[in-house]
Homo-oligomer: A and B are copies of this chain.
Amino acid sequence: MSHLKKILKSVADGELDIDSAMKQLRSGMYEDIGHSRVDHDRLERNGKPEVVFGQGKTVPQLLDIMNSLAGRGQDVLVTRLSQEKAEKLLKEQPDAVYHEAAKILTLKLSEKKSTDSWIAVVCAGTSDLPVAEEARLTAEFYGNTVKPIYDAGVAGLHRLLADLDTLQEAKVVVAVAGMEGALPSVVAGLVKAPVIAVPTSVGYGASFGGVAALLAMLNSCGSGLSVVNIDNGFGAGYLASMINQIGLED
């Protein structure tokens, strides 16, 4: 029974007066901490707790939000967090862990068994590692088994083909590449699983900060491929988790 229906029912049953109903619609669903409205309904609505976008927020703001989430027993994931801010947060939240390459901070209050099926995270070059790691860590945070295949770009196809089995048996693939962004097209031509393409800003000149790779991926002639924002390893890892956990208890 949906949240809305429950409240309507309580109103109909006379268990709830109208003003309380309207207040409850609000208070139960987020916490207003001044600068932010922490979305506590999100776990129920979207199946995952709110994720904190670290960039552009101050350390006190971040702490408030972490406390609001952790205070309700929700695991915390902060993305795009600079080393400098992370160090300040760790002093206050010593149980949190900071992953430097991926610029991700996690605070896990529970432990979950990882999935049997796996997500393959492929990346084209060593320079794409930070984005691939952001995807990997995000997916692992949500309880997925991840198998990384790194530095397997199209200029030396045999490096990719060497891990063809891992790739073809994955339930979903995340393919990360900068420069000409050709890797996801090649991967999509080799597998049956959905491929999530992540362009990175690696490159120079006419790569335009990842635009060349982004366009290549959007125009891929490979089927079953979709694209997330440039350097958005988090988004790819999150979506991959969703797909990998289809069929598990929702």
Q: Which residues of A come within 8 Å of B, CB atoms?
A: 2, 5, 8-9, 11-12, 14, 17-18, 21-22, 25-26, 29-30, 34-37, 39, 41-42, 45-48, 50-51, 53, 55-57, 61, 65, 80, 124-127, 129, 150-159, 162, 164-165, 171, 179-182, 185-186, 188-194, 196, 199, 201-232, 235-236, 238-239, 242-243, 246-247, 250
Give 19 A-B pairs besides A218-B230, A224-B239 with Cβ atoms closer than 8 angstroms: A8-B11, A29-B156, A29-B162, A30-B156, A36-B126, A41-B156, A46-B188, A48-B223, A50-B156, A154-B182, A157-B190, A179-B220, A180-B220, A205-B214, A205-B229, A212-B216, A215-B216, A225-B228, A243-B246
Task: Name 30 A/B residue pairs within 8 A (Cβ), A-sorted.
Answer: A8-B22, A12-B14, A12-B18, A26-B158, A29-B156, A29-B159, A30-B156, A30-B162, A35-B129, A36-B151, A53-B127, A56-B127, A61-B126, A154-B182, A154-B185, A155-B222, A157-B186, A157-B190, A180-B217, A192-B242, A192-B250, A203-B219, A205-B219, A205-B230, A206-B219, A211-B215, A213-B219, A216-B216, A226-B228, A226-B235
The residue from B37, B80, B199 contacting A151, defined by CB atoms under 8 A apart: B37
